[in-house]
Amino acid sequence: MLDSCFVVIVHDRGEAVQPRKVRLGVTASRKVGGAVVRNRLKRRVREWFRAERSWMRPGIDLLVIARHPAVSKTARELDSALGTLARGAGAAS
């Protein structure tokens, strides 16, 4: 799933590797901004994940790719966008 701020990809690992864990991968290219901007955005995504992983299906990998428009959004807007995209991509249990 994608929107102007993020691309969210959900991959089901199956039962072979750590079936009860939900793992997160976050990436932001230099197109997003400088190192400080990219790291701030990645910290925001990780904080959202810590708060929201309780409703996610166990045994999935969640990949979040940040895009440049995410830089100008508030934390609430980012959280809303990530939740909507993750549910749409199939992360909900």
Dihedral sign, Cα of residue 47, residue 49, residue 52, residue 54: negative
Nearest-angstrom CA–CA distance, 81 and 18: 28
Query: Which residue in the block uniquely carries the two structure tokens 């994608």?
Result: 2
Q: Give 77's pLDDT tier (boundaries 50, 70, 90).
A: very high
Which of 8-17, 57-66, 71-80 has the weakest average pLDDT?
Answer: 8-17
pLDDT of residue 18: 63
> Do the bridges between strand 60-66 and strand 6-12 make them parallel or antiparallel, or are there none, so unpaired?
antiparallel
Q: What does pTM read for this prediction?
A: 0.89
- Class of the CATH domain delimited by 6-89: alpha beta
